Amino acid sequence: MNLDNLKVRANAHLQRREFRQAGELFNRVVRKNPRDIEAWMALAAIHGMSGAYADAETCSRRVLRINPQLPGAWLNLGSAQSNQGEYARAAESYRKVIALQPDTLIAYQSLGNTLRKLNSHMEAIRVFNQALALQPNNSSVFYDLGNTYKACGELGKAIACFRQAMRLAPDNLQAHANLIACMLYSETTGQQELFREQTAWGRAMEAGLPATPRHENSPVTDRRLRVGYCSPDFRNHSVAFFFEPLLEAHDRDRFEIICYSQVDCPDATTQRLNLLADHWRDTCGMSNDELYATIKSDEVDILVDLAGLTQGNRLEVFARRPAPVQINYLGYASGTGLASMQYRFTDEWADPQGEADDFHVEKLVRLPRGFLCYRPPDDAPVVAGLPALESGYITFGSFNNLAKVTPAVVRFWSELLQAVPNSRLICKAERLSDTSIRQRYMELFEAHDIPVERVELLGQVNSTAGHLGLYSRVDIGLDTFPYNGTATTLEALWMGVPVVVLEGDRHMARVGVSILQQAGLQEFIARDSSEYISIVVGLVHDLERLAALRADLRTRIEQSSLCAATDFTRDVESAYRGLWEAWVNHAVSP
């Protein structure tokens, strides 16, 4: 068969996404003609779509040896390099595309998103603006730009970009989800406004879907129930810190556990969770139809979403309601807006009875001892002595996601630093590895008359032990508002650092309240900013008490309900059983 016929057959397979057959035929082509650019390009694409990124890179380089001026080959090479984590090399490949063909929009977008991974966010913003100069009404570029501003902590600009992306493409549900995520962090967002956006997103997600299917699950109340957990965070992630003790403590005589893992890069935590589950489904690469069919085939009785509107969620599958009972829990600090998500797990401190219920589509189920259970890291360092006793000054600390450190938070922390003369602040966040972002935050503090020597801004620390070891330099932890810390608050407490929290009016602004209530540390919950400063100043003026508290905190947390995995899991299982019985009673009623 001649080469042209081979390529016609190969391309037909490729159009049907029959990658193996297409690859075999294109390989026959290049064996006969090693300089066939079309075949090498196709092989690079096939390997890329199949996840064989090293092979995709090899094929792209073969093309470039034949024609080094081919923009498409540089674009394929950049994609292969990026997918292998070689971001600096990928950025250079994308710049080569732009130099050869300056109107290649995807090269600007790929370069911008690669620069974000390199913690070069200001340069990424410039690149995305260049893309907008090419196509001013491109929704996906505004989406990328919004994500970049969000990473920089510039929520107002991020919100404006996401709204523009939605205006240009009203069906861009991902832009809408990210808009809502930014609203969660913003102190200017009211509960009614947030609820309105969430329900609008939920209605758009569920629009056009078929009616809720009839579930054929056996309507028996006391049988062993099949519980499915769906998450992109079954890895070294804060969600796993809280999920692992629940997974490990489940009563396997009464519950059969299936994990649906949307993890692109599995790690040691993924492997550990896999061994704890009864069944493990790798959902990466599964279409929504395929995942829906898998869950239905597994005959899941209770399906639990651990992601909400965060990246990697599979809420489009939940919207189709593959399981009789569906629950929003843990990985997202608000409601989803989906009518198909019947319940949300919380507790009485994070979501007090009354107003919280009015701002959720889901029915709130309050667990009696708290809505989460903490698994402390095995490699946590020992608790160090109080640093103020050696340094002679108080050091405050916050290691939260930078998006939570809004200008309002910076302004308040500056007031606190003014109220405690000679004090210091350590603020650590992954995005502070970017020099331009670090400079922006330093300027925010300087605008409130806080000199640079009183604020230390730290970026990513790669090891858990190294990250936790930084608490040896912190005397008092400062929580963020309106979006509280969760894992960071518990890490601080575990390392002997008390955290002062500001009580808010919604879940993400009350997580700190829930944690401190369970730890028996109610004296560190402030109702307003004045009380917050009063609590902090009281600690500053009693270093003996602060040192004693530091020495006792780990034991206190360990003995609290926060680490009582078995009791917590029995509470969750009791809730599951009650929700299942409610479904059975409804299913069998005339």
Question: Was domain 388-563 assigned CATH 3.90.1300.10?
Answer: no
Of 147, 77, 83, which Cα lies nearest the Cα of 116? 147
Secondary structure in 3-state letters for 7-49: HHHHHHHHHCCCHHHHHHHHHHHHHHCCCCHHHHHHHHHHHHH
Per-residue pLDDT at 8 exceeds 80: no
Per-residue pLDDT at 590 exceeds 70: no
Q: What integer is the mean pLDDT of 414-436?
A: 96
Per-residue pLDDT at 251 exceeds 70: yes
Would you tell me how many other CB atoms lie within 10 Å of the CB of residue 453? 7
Give me the pLDDT at residue 587, please.
78
For 115, counting Cβ atoms within 10 Å of its Cβ (0-12 exposed, 13-18 middle, 19+ buried), the class is: buried
Beta strand 525-526 pairing with 455-458 = unpaired
Query: Is it true that 200-373+564-590 and 388-563 share their CATH fold?
Result: yes
Rounded CA-CA distance 125/115 in Å is 9
In sign, the C-alpha dihedral spanning 308, 312, 318, 320 is: positive
Fold of 3-199: 1.25.40
Phi, psi of 323 (to 5 degrees): -125, 150
Higher per-residue pLDDT: 546 or 13 = 546
Beta strand 343-346 pairing with 325-328 = parallel
Beta strand 343-346 pairing with 476-478 = unpaired
| Tens digits of residue pLDDT in 95-149 | 999 999 999 999 999 999 999 999 999 999 999 999 999 999 999 999 999 999 9
Beta strand 302-305 pairing with 476-478 = unpaired
Specify the DSSP class assigned to residue 507: G
Distances (CA, A) of 70 to 66, 164, 301, 426, 515: 9, 34, 53, 48, 57
The pTM of the full predicted model, rounded to 2 decimals, is 0.92
Rounded CA-CA distance 481/425 in Å is 17
Average per-residue pLDDT for the chain: 95
Per-residue pLDDT at 11 exceeds 80: no
Give me the pLDDT at residue 588, please.
66
Rounded CA-CA distance 41/38 in Å is 5
Domains of the chain: which residue ranges? 3-199, 200-373+564-590, 388-563
Give me the pLDDT at residue 72, please.
96
Give me the pLDDT at residue 213, please.
80
**Which of 3.40.50.300, 3.40.50.11380, 3.30.70.100, 1.25.40.10 is the CATH number of 200-373+564-590?**
3.40.50.11380
DSSP 3-state of 352 = coil
- The first and second tokens of residue 225, run together, are 């129930």
Give me the pLDDT at residue 1, please.
62
| Tens digits of residue pLDDT in 372-399 | 999 999 899 999 999 999 999 999 999 9
Dmax (CA) of the chain:
88
